[in-house]
Structure 1
């Protein structure tokens, strides 16, 4: 009797256990034909090829005439030393984001292009007009005229909703072989140590991306554009499964600027931020390194106006965690000027939050942009008075003051200066505005000593004499 009860009890327990998963072969035709083809058919017509032609000057091999002594006797201005021009072509991909002919690509694809052409998936070719070129995000927006036709376009997805492991497709024109589709997963999010753009917050994918894919589409399985393929990590020049894409939320801000016809303006927080290292986290009593430490604040910074101080650590913005300084920069850059945001921060042992208003960088000083001329090393240099607005445009610290090289057009300056150089001193005169610089340069009389700040390093030069 007892044995019968025990057997019945065991049978009851076994029946209650979950059944082991069975391996089965495909049972229906649809099981066998699972495919990405529907997504590809929907999205690939919106991915285009972008060709840019540019004229570049190339110095001829002068041989003996490279020596000033021989040029003196045989004439260095003749054909022996004259530069020659040649056509350089670049190839990339692009994505139609508006059926009226608005196309997004990478800035490095069209950089310096004199003639930009777009070839659609159906092989039709159009001349393209450059609307916006943004070096800081490596994005550019082109416009073609489809003669009233509504072109296939990709809808922008929300790249903040991506998760590691999501399936994605990369569409582009690798090596110029023609439109190609590769699949993979999102390998990582918020990559900030890539060194490609000022706003480093990339989607990493193992979908094969190769040269020529730049500017192409990274799409999810709903057919939404979730990134613009931008770069690969490779020692051989080919794909090794590490590719990077600019998130769609950053792309949206650049496209909106192109649609409104204005220059790109992003919200400004007027703060110098620093990553929280393990040592800093330990000194602040954090359980782990997180957040962005405020190392400096401009008096007009929205953070300063809201009561934040140097030494506070920003931990989140609008409910999104901030892991480092670059992530905070990205979150602010993808918001809208005029909107507000809730900032979570820590001061000492207190965790607080406040609301800030997102504003454009103020132009506290008239920029007085001036093209330098004359027989001086500065000839061809475009200079401007620094303000938070100018500093933000050039990617300089918000507290920068003085005079900056806002562009280099040519002349002697082309060989000496770089865009973003801050001119500190000329012939012993401290440079505080454009007028001071113009006066100091004129007193050179064939001899110039000057100092510039280039990326935080002071460089001193001496010419003439």
Structure 2
């Protein structure tokens, strides 16, 4: 039997090998569809889609969805250097050195009458000078300088140093503690002057350059972007409308310039949010649209004139709204009324809910303060309130906001 099968083994093996080769080269012999090259797959799908009318559902090929392609990211939109912007703005940014004389605390024994009898009433008092560093911006050829109020607060003498090496004593034209701005004047010729940008036109993401005198090391430029606009509720001042930037701002930058990519003034650098005392990438600048108004008011009137109702207001919560009989948390609640002030004369009381002034709804206490400040003193306006669940309208004559006392200016 074995002798009979041996002659058939080799032909069978050869036949199997031949079949494998043929099936590998011609898979359609088994009904397997031929693979399509990747380059032609989309064309094949398109042809198949056109020729499948009447075919069974399993062989339908759907056309690819039409996707929206994003435009290529431009890579040449911004300059490779901001040196031109710095050259335009930096000469107008100055260093501000303020100093004041204070008395040193006397020795504790000098408060004891027993020891004082040996020295009498003519005990020599020791004095020392306190100095602070800051920055300022020259905004006119007449020598007017914008800086922060806290930079020159309580100063007996203010000296400024320009980038070109000149120095001068500065006179205080006026200050506004409530916006933390001050106006100085220096008497020098051929002063470099910065140009003003429209801060309301700036957008989040725009390039911002901070120029000032951090830590007294000398004029320094840092770069970042505008991180946010209209920042308030920071507790820095009663009137807050800050530009936020991540350009490094450090102690000594206060009063310096925040400029755009063309070197135009966007704001006055004022404060930083920091747990270490150094820059954490959260800095705040007073925008030029506000700084310009303060500057003009101080130069023309010697002070900032603001409208005043003589009331202190606070935000109204849902619980307060329910207790006042309101359907929603709208308006602000009057917390106190200044005696003899416009609100007192109009009959406003603590606990009244202020809904609108001159038809404009009130939604936020700080926004309300800013809106009232913009009203010309002497104007008579209708004010809508809710008292004991009843809606009332009263007429109120707007007064002028008093200048803060030194105790309020801390």
- The correspondence of residues 4-403 of structure 1 with structure 2, limited to 5 A, is 4=47, 6=49, 16-19=66-69, 33-60=79-106, 62=107, 64-72=109-117, 74-77=118-121, 81-147=123-189, 149=190, 151-155=192-196, 157-159=198-200, 161=201, 164-221=204-261, 223-281=263-321, 284-286=326-328, 291-295=331-335, 301=342, 311-314=352-355, 323-333=363-373, 335=374, 337=376, 359-361=398-400, 392-394=402-404
Q: Deviation string for 1:255-306 (max 9, x for gaps)?
A: 11232143332122333322122433555322xx564334456787489879
- Structure-2 residue corresponding to 1:459: none
Higher strand share: 1
Q: Distance in 1 between matches of 2:303 and 2:233?
A: 28
Structure possessing the higher radius of gyration over alpha carbons: 2
TM-score (norm 2): 0.70
Structure 1 Cα separation of the partners of residues 97 and 154 of structure 2: 12
Q: Is the 8 A contact 2:355 2:386 kept in 1?
A: no
Q: Which runs of 5+ in 2 are unaligned?
A: 1-43, 53-59
Q: Distance in 1 between matches of 2:114 and 2:266?
A: 60
Check conservation: 1:100, 1:151, Cα contact below 8 A.
Answer: no
Structure 1, residues 306-365: CA drift from partner, whole Å, max 9, x if none? Answer: 99996344468897x8542122212333x26369799997859999999987x542xxxx
> What residue number does 1:441 align with?
none
Closer, same or farther in 2 for the Cα pair 1:21/1:141, shift >3 Å? closer
Count, aligned residues:
356
TM-score of the superposition, structure 1-length normalised? 0.63
Q: 1:296 to 1:195 in 2, by over 3 A?
A: closer
Q: Is the 8 A contact 1:184 1:205 kept in 2?
A: yes
How far apart are 1:143 and its partner, in Å?
Answer: 0.7
Counterpart contact for 1:105–1:216, Cα < 8 Å? yes
Determine the C-alpha separation between the residues in 1 that align with 2:285 and 2:51: 61
Q: Is the 8 A contact 1:216 1:229 kept in 2?
A: yes
| Residues in 1 aligned to 2:330 and 2:282: alpha-carbon distance in whole angstroms | 25
Q: Shift of residue 222 of structure 1?
A: 5.2
Is the 1:228–1:246 contact (alpha carbons within 8 Å) kept by the matching residues of 2? yes
Residue 25 of structure 2: aligned partner:
none
Q: In 2, are the aligned partners of 1:344 and 1:351 still within 8 Å (CA)?
A: no
Say if 1:151 and 1:240 are closer, same or farther in 2 by CA, change over 3 A: same
Distance 1:117 1:343, change over 3 A: farther
